A and B are shown apart, each in its own frame.
Chain A
Amino acid sequence: MMPSSRRFLIAALACLPALAWAATPGAAAAKPAPSSFFVLDNGLQVLLQEKHDLPLTGMTLAIDLGTKDESEATSGYAHLLEHMLLFGAGAGVDSEARLAELRRHGVAHNAHTDHDLMTFEVSCPAEESAWALEQMRQAVFSGRLDPLQLESEKRVIGEEILQLRDDPAYLGRLLVMERLFAGHPYGRPVFGDGSAIRAATVEQLQAFCAPRLVVNRCALSLIGDFTLAAMEAEVRRNWGAMPAGSAPAADIPVVGRLEKNSEQQIALDVQECHLFFGWRAPEFNHEQRLPFSLLTHILGSGLNPLLGVVLRGGRLQVDRVDMSYLPMRSGGMALLHVILKPQDIRGARNEVAAFLSRVGSFNFSKEDVLPGERMYVLDYLESARNHMEYGDANFREGSLNLSMACSRFLLLNRAPIKGSYLESVDKVSSNDLRRAAGKFLSGKKWAVLVIMPLAGEGQ
C-alpha cells in the first residue's frame, strides 16, 4: 500500500541537510539549502535540493524492484534488466552511439541493483540537467530490449560474477548472506547463480519487469546547481505525463528465525586469511536501526575499533577489523570481517563470542561510570556520535551520493520521523546500545566463514 504523501513529506525532509544542520552545534549561522518534496499525480515521489558550490547536478531514480521480487526461476533478472536499461540503445541510435552522446554532454551514469531496490544514477554538468533528466526517463522506461544486447550482457554479467568471486571481501559477504538468509530471497546473490539469466529471453525479461517497472514504484531525487522552481517545472514537464502502473508493492516473505550456527571454510589464492562473522540485524524500519548503526561503528570502525582492542588484548595477531551493517526492508545483516593469521582463527572466534556474551553490561559512555572514574574511560558513544556527524557532513558534499541516499530513503522508510538524523543520533544512549547488542549479537546464532590462503589450507 502506498503511504500517504504527508508521511513521505516528513520522511523526505528529514533526510535534507536543512534539518540536519539545525542539529549541528556551531552551524547555526549557516543557511540550510533550499529544498522541496512533491508527489506527481502518477505517484512519482520527487525530492529536489539546491547545491551551488560546483556546476554539477546529481540525480537518482530508485525503483522498488530488486532480488526480493525474483523467484528461483527468475533469479538474477533484476540485475540483468538493470544492465539492459543502463547500456541499452536509444531512439534511433545504437548503444555505443547513445553512450557517446552522453559523454559528449559530460554525463556520467551508472546503476545498481540490490535485494530491495534498483537505482539509476546520473551526474552531469548543471547546464545539462534537463537533457540528462530526459535521457534517464527514456533509458529506463523506453521498453526497448534488444535480443542481441541481451546475449552480450549475459556474457558481461558472467565476467562480473567471476570478478566478484575473486574478491575475498565480496565473496565473504555473499557467502555469509547466503547462510544467514537461506531459503529467503535475501539469501540469493543479486546476479543469481547464472543459470536463470543464461536461459532468459527478452519476452521473459519483459514479463518480469512490466508490472514492476512503473513510475509509482519510483522515487526521483535531484541535488545540484539549479533553482527549485525551474527544476520542479522541468520534472513535471518531463515525467508528469507518464502513466501510473497498477501493481501492488512487492510482498516480501518474512525472514524466519535462524535456527543454528553455520560454519564454512573455502580456499582462495590469497596470502591473507579472512574470517567473517555474520549476524541477523535490525531491518531498515526497526526502532533499533540507529542504535545498532552506532554500535556497529563502535565495534568495528574508526581509529581504534572495540573488537580490535578485544582481539589484540587476547594476544592475537589481527591485521584488520571491520564491521558493517546492512539494513534491508525485511531484515538486516551485521558483518564482521577480520584479517588475521590462520593460527589465530579459533582464538578469534572464542574472543568474539566471549566479548559479545558480556557486551550487555559494557560501559560505552562516561555517563556509565562514577564521576571520579570518567577521565580513565574511553567515551565510545561520544566518539561514534562525532564520527557520524563528520561522516554525514562529508557524505552530503557529494551531490550524487546524496541524491542516491535520498531516493532510497524515500522508498525504504516507513517509520515516522521525529527530528533530524543528527538529533536522533544524539538521543541514542548507552542503554540503547546495550539493548541492541543484547537483542542482536549476544549469544545469537551466527554464520562464520573462513577464507584460507591456498598455501595454508588444511591448517
Chain B
Amino acid sequence: MKTAAAIRLVLLLAFLPAAVNGGDEASWQLGREPRAFTLENGLSVILQQDGAAPITVAQLLVRGGDRDDPPGLSGLSYLAARLSLEITEESKLQKLMDLGSSFFLSAGGDYSLVTIRSLSRNFAATLAVLAAMISEPLVSDLRVDGVKDLMRHLQKMEADDPDLLMRKTLAGAFYDAPAYGAARFGDEASLARIGRKDIQSFLRSHFVAGNMTLVVISDLDEAEIRPLLASRLGGITAGGKPPPRPVPLRRPPQSALAVERQTSQVLVALAVQLPELNAGNFVLASLLESWLGKGVGSRLWRLRSRGSLAYGVNADVQPNREAMLLSVSLKTDARRSAEAQAELERLMKEVSSGGIAAAELDAAKAYARADFWRENETRERRAATLAFLEGAGLSYRLGGSFTRSLDEIGLEEFNDFLRTWLAPPRWFMLRIGPGQ
C-alpha cells in the first residue's frame, strides 16, 4: 500500500505543475486569457486580444483618489488627474478629433481611471497624443482655473442628481475627510486653497509609472502593441507607489440624516459599512449587491411588487479599499416615504436575521454569474473591470475566475456575511427630498 501510495504521489507531483498551469489556462472565463508584462519604467500592462471589433480600448488606472486628498485640499486628486488630461495645444485637439478618438476620466475613492477609445488603425497616433499630455501636464494658472470651474459645475451636478448626492452624503457620513469622505470635486474653500505647487506635488508622487496599471483590449497583435506601448508610454517617469493615506474607520456619528430638496419623490436609503476589500470579500459583496438590488425580481423588488412603493429599487457597493460601503435605496412619492422607509427596514431585518435559503442562493449565483458576463461584454467595461481588480490589489486574474469564485460561496459563509455586516445596529438611514 505504501509503495502504491508513493507512486501515486510521485505521479501527482510530476504532473502537478502542468495540471495547475493547464487548469489556469482553461479556467480563464472572460474572453481570451490576457498577457501581463511590465515596461522598463515599471508601468504594469495587461493586454487582452479581442478580434471581434476593429477598435482598441485602454484603461489607465492611477492609484490615488479621494482618500489621498491632504487635509483641507479636498478635490486635489481629481483636479490633478483632470489637469493631466487637459489638451495643451490646439493642434493636439485637432489631431484627436480627426482621429475620432476620445478619452474620459472617472474618479474613485482609491484611484482615477482614464478611458482611451480609438479605432485600432488610429491607436498609435492617439496614444502618442495622450502620452505626451500625461507625461508632461501643463500646470498653468489659466488651466488650473479652468479645471476648477469645471469642478464647480460637477459639484452642482452632484447636488442635483439624487443618486450622486446619496453617494456623496453617505461617504461623508461613514468616512472622515480627508479620506473617502472628502468631497470629490472639492468645495469653495478647498478649491481656493489648492495651488499649483500642491498639484505639481501630487502629480510628481502619483503620476509615475510604478503607480499605474494599463489594461489594453484590442484586435491588434501583441507583437504590434508591445513595442508601441514601450515607445509611447516608456517616457512616463519611473517611480513606485506612494504610501496611501491612512483611512481611520468610524461609525457615523448619527444613525440617520435628512437632506431637504423640493422634489416630487423622496430617496430613501439604508447603508452599512462592509469589510475591507479583498478577493473573498469582493465576491461576497458582489453577490450581495446583485441579490439584493440588481435587476427585475431582486430581493428589494418586493417593495415594488407588493407595495407598489417605487418604480425602481437599487443596491450599490462602493468598493473602497479599507472598507466597502453598501447602500440600498428606492425613490418614492414624498407622501409615502415613511411607509417606504418602514418597509425597507423590515425587509433588511428579514435579510440580516433570516438569511438566504439554499435554493435562493443558487438562483442568486446564477443571476450574478450571468450579470458579470453582461457587465463585461464590451471591451470598454471589461478593461475597466480588469484595471480595477489589478489596481485594487486583487489581481486582474480574479476577472477570469470570478464566476467560479461565486460558485464556491457556501450557504453558511454567505449567511454569516449577512448576519455580521447587515445587523441593524450598523444601519444608517438617509432621506433626500421634501421635509416630512
Contacts and interface: CB of A to CB of B under 8 A. Distances in A.
Interface of A: 21, 24-27, 30, 51, 53-56, 86-87, 95-96, 99-100, 102-110, 123-125, 152-153, 155-160, 162-163, 165-166, 168, 269-272, 302-304, 317, 319-320, 339, 378-380, 382-390, 393-394, 396-400, 454
B370 A25 contact: no
B51 interface: yes
Given A166-B264, A389-B100, A378 B363 contact: no
A125 B370 contact: yes
B366 interface: yes
Contacts of B50: 53
Interface residues of B, number: 69
B263 A394 contact: no
B30 A159 contact: no
B310 interface: yes
A53 B52 contact: yes
A158 B100 contact: no
A387 B118 CA distance: 9
A272 B160 contact: yes
Q: Which 8 A-B pairs have the closest CB atoms?
A: A386-B100, A99-B297, A106-B370, A155-B308, A269-B262, A104-B363, A160-B311, A271-B156
Interface in B93-143: 93-94, 96-102, 117-122
Interface string B76-106: 0000000000000000011011111110000
B377 interface: yes
Contacts of A26: 54, 120-121
6 contacts: A21-B54, A99-B301, A159-B308, A165-B264, A386-B122, A390-B55
B158 to A, nearest CB: 9
B265 interface: yes
B331 interface: yes
Given A271-B159, A271-B160, 15 more contacts: A26-B120, A99-B297, A103-B364, A106-B367, A158-B333, A159-B309, A160-B311, A163-B264, A163-B311, A166-B162, A383-B99, A384-B100, A390-B102, A390-B118, A394-B53
Interface of B: 30-31, 50-55, 93-94, 96-102, 117-122, 149-150, 153, 156-157, 159-160, 162, 219, 261-265, 295-298, 301-302, 304-305, 308-312, 331-333, 360, 362-364, 366-367, 369-371, 373-374, 376-380
Given A103-B295, A125-B370, A156-B308, A397 B263 contact: no
A272 B363 contact: no
A104 B291 CA distance: 11
B53 A397 contact: yes
A315 to B, nearest CB: 14
Given A108-B295, A108-B296, A270-B160, A396 B53 contact: yes
Nearest to B150: A319
A102 B370 CA distance: 12
A339 B162 contact: no
A236 to B, nearest CB: 26
A257 B119 CA distance: 41
Nearest to B304: A156
A152 B309 CA distance: 9
Contacts of A110: 296
Contacts of A86: 296
Contacts of A27: 54
Contacts of B52: 51, 53, 397
A123 B370 contact: yes
Contact of B117 (A95, A104, A320, A394): A394
A402 B261 CA distance: 39
A272 B296 contact: no
Given A104-B362, A163-B331, A397-B52, A383 B97 contact: yes
Contact of B305 (A53, A96, A159, A303): A96
A319 B301 CA distance: 37
A162 B433 CA distance: 12
Contacts of B99: 383, 386
A442 to B, nearest CB: 24
Contacts of B31: 53-54
Given A152-B305, A320-B153, A303 B97 contact: yes
A383 B118 contact: no
A348 to B, nearest CB: 15
A318 B379 CA distance: 33
A166 B160 CA distance: 10
Contact of A302 (B97, B159, B304, B333): B97
Given A26-B121, A54-B373, A159 B366 contact: no
Nearest to A159: B311
Contacts of A386: 98-101, 119, 122
A156 B311 contact: yes
B293 to A, nearest CB: 12
B377 A398 contact: yes
A407 to B, nearest CB: 18
Given A26-B54, A104-B366, A56 B373 contact: yes
Contacts of B333: 158-159, 162
| B93, B261, B311, B362 pick with most chain A CB within 10 angstroms | B311
Contacts of B93: 303-304
A157 B295 CA distance: 17
Contacts of A162: 264-265, 331, 333
B263 A166 contact: yes
Contacts of B298: 103
A106 B362 CA distance: 10
B101 to A, nearest CB: 8
A269 B261 contact: yes
Given A95-B305, A320-B153, A382 B98 contact: yes
B327 to A, nearest CB: 18
Contacts of B364: 103
Contacts of B101: 386, 390
A155 B339 CA distance: 15
A393 B263 contact: no
Nearest to B118: A390
Contacts of B54: 21, 24, 26-27, 30, 393
A120 to B, nearest CB: 12
Given A54-B31, A106-B370, A304 B160 contact: no
| A55, A103, A152, A157 pick with most chain B CB within 10 angstroms | A103
B377 A397 contact: yes
B290 to A, nearest CB: 9
Contacts of A124: 370
A68 to B, nearest CB: 24
Contacts of A397: 52-53, 377-379
A159 B94 contact: no
